[in-house]
Chain A
């Protein structure tokens, strides 16, 4: 059954993507292209419903609706992985921002204390 192989390869690909890849403009372009392709395929499938069943039979699945279901699951997983990665990135950015605020405040108060001490010491000097 051809589709079993395709499906397993797709799932393994998603797993690798989850663990490995780092974000880049190239990936963004690929994601956008995939979205465009999916939209175009959707239009085609709506206009010629028979195509879907023909494709399903070609890869060894009984009905076109089943093929659509499998593809939807794969697309959903890719979406989840993308969002997860994005949220990790945002968390990191948030941490860095919060750290900079904390450190800036600390440096500032250190400086103020230092100046205050110098000021207090002046009259006696």
Chain B
């Protein structure tokens, strides 16, 4: 990676060169450093899109060795994800994109396993799902929000997913080119499924564990925000 900072770990042969990690980043200075360090042990390219953080998230991410792209001001997670995808999908040597959350709720082993699955099954899209097994334990309110999101997404996309708003996904480059998110805020999670579904490319779901720490719980989606998601999806 041309822009690796001096503090980045030395290049290791077992790091995956064909996949780029894409992380939308907004005010996660306390956790993002750890997330990136762990990812860099397994991946060569970690791309962070700093969405106008008001803390020093961008500096921390850069110091940890990520390629940081900065939005001039806060636009929303969907906008940051789209910027990251647009950048990553044209990087030479990149064949897969992995979207990853900044708050440390995803497990790197899941991302690696999803990449292997995409490779072995020639699938262009792997959706992470926390509902395929019972490792993940969301609270009741969260379960209602997430299950409603799944129902609405399935209704509008024709795909039958078990989890809609999961930030961990693997996109082959051709699938990444089918993505053009217009929803700047949380509704992008449904929009990306719609666009990927329309691409007609082969997809799979993969059971992942979502780690609900006190930190990620405090930042999570509220019941009321699901109303925003619904309205954003219906009205353009």
Among the listed B2, B3, B82, which residue makes an inter-chain contact with A99, where contact means beta carbons less than 8 Å apart?
B82
A110 B3 Cβ-Cβ under 8 A = yes
Closest to B82 in A: A99
Closest to A107 in B: B87
Q: Does B140 count as interface, using CB distance less than 8 angstroms?
A: no
Closest to A111 in B: B2
A110 and B90 CA atoms in complex are apart in Å by: 13
A102 and B79 CA atoms in complex are apart in Å by: 11
A18 B235 Cβ-Cβ under 8 A = yes
Taking CB atoms, residues of chain A closer than 8 Å to B86 are 99, 103
Closest to A115 in B: B2
B3 A102 Cβ-Cβ under 8 A = no
Q: How large is the interface on B (under 10, 10 to 19, 20 to 34, 35 or more residues)?
A: 20 to 34
Most interface-central of A88, A91, A95, A114 (chain B CB within 10 A):
A95
* A contacts with B, residue count (CB < 8 A): 20
Taking CB atoms, residues of chain A closer than 8 Å to B82 are 99
Taking CB atoms, residues of chain A closer than 8 Å to B71 are 98-99, 102
Among the listed A18, A84, A99, which residue makes an inter-chain contact with B83, where contact means beta carbons less than 8 Å apart?
A99
Q: Does B159 count as interface, using CB distance less than 8 angstroms?
A: no
Chain A nearest CB from B11 CB (Å) reads 14
Closest to B67 in A: A106
Q: Does B205 count as interface, using CB distance less than 8 angstroms?
A: no
A95 B75 Cβ-Cβ under 8 A = yes
Q: Does B13 count as interface, using CB distance less than 8 angstroms?
A: no
B70 A113 Cβ-Cβ under 8 A = no
Taking CB atoms, residues of chain B closer than 8 Å to A94 are 75
A105 and B49 CA atoms in complex are apart in Å by: 12
Taking CB atoms, residues of chain B closer than 8 Å to A91 are 184
Q: Does B69 count as interface, using CB distance less than 8 angstroms?
A: yes
Taking CB atoms, residues of chain B closer than 8 Å to A92 are 182, 184
Mark B56-73 against chain A: 1 for CB-CB distance below 8 A, else 0.
000000000001011111
A47 and B27 CA atoms in complex are apart in Å by: 61
Q: Does A19 count as interface, using CB distance less than 8 angstroms?
A: yes
Q: 5 additional contacts, CB 8 Å, given A98-B71, A99-B79, A103-B86? A: A98-B73, A98-B75, A105-B70, A109-B3, A113-B2
Interface residues of A (CB under 8 A from B): 18-19, 84, 88, 91-92, 94-95, 98-99, 101-103, 105-106, 109-110, 113-114, 117
